[in-house]
Structure 1
Amino acid sequence: MTVMTLRIPDDLAPAIRAGAEAAGLSLNAYIVRAARRQAVLDSAQHLAALGLGDELCGEGDTL
């Protein structure tokens, strides 16, 4: 596992902490989940830009 240092703006920190608490997740798990979701979206956009998204339609998975 890789350890990273993350700097969060002071005005955003309370919303992140509240979101983690509301989701019943640790702060770390909440941030990892958000990063993972963004990475999946970025990958999907890259595939779509390459024209590969149409081949995935109807396979049961949606974004």
Structure 2
Amino acid sequence: MSVTTMTLRIPDELAPSIRAAASGAGLSVNAYVVRAARRAATLDAAKLLAAQGLGDNLAGEGDTL
């Protein structure tokens, strides 16, 4: 798997809760943020498919949201 390095600016007041949540989940901050971004992108794509009426054709395919 190839990776791209990105700079992410997090508000100072949010950083401690991200670190704590990552630690509580047993993940690095990077892994936690990647997981959150992946979930958001998947949800956004599902909403787009649903808005276009395309999600009906996917019933029973893979994991459900």
Same fold, judged at TM 0.5 (above): yes
Q: 1:56 aligns with which of 48, 52, 58?
A: 58
TM-aligned CA deviation for residue 60 of structure 1: 5.4
- What is the aligned-residue RMSD (CA, Å)? 1.1
Counterparts of 2:42 and 2:26 in 1: how far apart (Å)? 22
Counterparts of 1:37 and 1:24 in 2: how far apart (Å)? 18
Query: Percent same amino acid among aligned pairs?
Result: 73
Give unpaired runs (5+ residues) of structure 1. none
SS at match of 1:25: coil
SS at match of 1:20: helix
Matches within 5 A, 1:25-44: 25-44=27-46
Tell me which residue corresponds to 2:16: 14
TM-aligned CA deviation for residue 22 of structure 1: 0.2
TM normalised by structure 1 equals 0.91
TM-aligned CA deviation for residue 61 of structure 1: 2.4
Question: What number of residue pairs does the alignment pair up?
Answer: 63
TM-aligned CA deviation for residue 53 of structure 1: 1.2
Give unpaired runs (5+ residues) of structure 2. none
